Amino acid sequence: MLQQKMEIVKDPRIREIHIPYEAATKLRNAFASLRLDDDKSFIKTKTWFGSTVRYCLPEHQINIIQDFKESDESCALIIRGLPIDSDLGATPYNGYIAPSKTPLASGCHIGIYQLAGIEPISFQTENQGLLFRHVVPNPKARTEKSSHGSTHTFGHHVDNPDLPLACERLTDKSGCPEFLSLMAMRSDLSVRSNFVLVDDLLTGLSAGVIDELLKPNFKISRPDSFGQAISTVLPILVMDDYGTAYCRFDKENVTPLTESAAAALLMFEARLNDESLKHYLVYQPGDLLLIKNQRILHSREGFQPRDDGADRWLIRLFGMSSLDRIVTVYDDRKYIGKD
């Protein structure tokens, strides 16, 4: 369900596909008998998941998914109508449920990444090192501005922004996720999410403001999902050799360290509040949003959970173009990065 005034499918940088009934049925049947217990099992089987998704989908949809990673133009892909598990339990308010409890959704998620040529990854201390993070209204985090909060609007942000961006050199830390996806298991039609493309933000800012954002004069704090009070002094923007801008802005976790940085941040946030830049989305079960994490800022409005076991529930997954951007922690689980 999209806001009429924000017809995002008309923007060539944002693609949208609808999975046909026949394809969804094929996927459901193919994954109906999965018996995989943990993240490692899903990773070991990712090639099969990718092949199965390829077999089930129409050719033109396969091409769109395959083209997404390498396309300089595409920044977001919305996939609607994916099958999800029919025997879901209550929304996991504690933020954890084994992927074996949602085998159909987990299999589709991993399969789409494989088809797109994206490596699913996680981080050692973020989300307890687990691949799938359950975006739910956790009662213990209700007033936090995080993926487990609900009461307050979760401001625009790039996930894991204190880690090196795609054009920054790695040292002892893995890179910031290049891709992020959110798949809806349960929806709340009163809750809107929105995202803003970094390129659109910059077109309305002066060269002076952009120059300030490129300077390492901002304290970037580690998000709550890590459970660590760590901060790093970094720039908000980084440009690669081709002039492509990568961003690590996080509304809840950035602090300017100079007067010039504060002024530039003020102008950046004013531009971010421009409604004409926002692409609104209300998730429905089976919707999956895949974005280039460092090229888009995303946000979610605050809401009041019902606490009835059927509240809003999304599943988040991170990805990289290559595991070369991961500083490996465990030899037998190379998808888990040191952070």
Q: Mind giving me the DSSP string for 159-183? A: SSTTSPPTTSPPSSSPPPPSEEEEE
Q: What is the H or E stretch that residue 266 is in?
A: helix 259-272
Query: Given a cut of 70, is residue 302 above it in pLDDT?
Result: yes
Question: DSSP character for 338?
Answer: P
CA distances from 218 to 44, 231, 243 (A): 40, 10, 21
pLDDT score at 226: 76
- What is residue 312's three-state secondary structure? coil
- Give the 3-state secondary structure of residue 218: strand
Pick left, alpha or beta for residue 292 (phi over 0 → left; psi -120 to 50 → alpha; otherwise beta).
Answer: beta
Domains and CATH numbers, the chain: 11-197+279-337 (3.60.130.10)
pLDDT 10s digits, 170-222: 989 999 999 999 999 999 999 999 999 999 999 999 999 999 999 999 999 98
User: Measured between alpha carbons, how far is 267 from 247 in angstroms, rounded to an integer?
Assistant: 15
The overall average pLDDT reported for the chain is: 93
Question: Model-level pTM greater than 0.85?
Answer: yes
**Can you give the pLDDT at residue 141?**
80
Q: pLDDT-based confidence at 124, cuts 50/70/90?
A: very high
Dihedral sign from CA coordinates of 233, 225, 144, 290: positive
Residues 6+ apart with CB under 8 A from 20: 58, 81
The answer to whether 327 and 173 are in contact (CB under 8 A) is yes
Q: Are the C-beta atoms of 122 and 318 separated by less than 8 Å?
A: yes
Q: What is the pLDDT of residue 145?
A: 73
Model confidence over 240-255: pLDDT tens digits?
999 999 999 999 999 9
Q: For position 10, what pLDDT does the model report?
A: 66
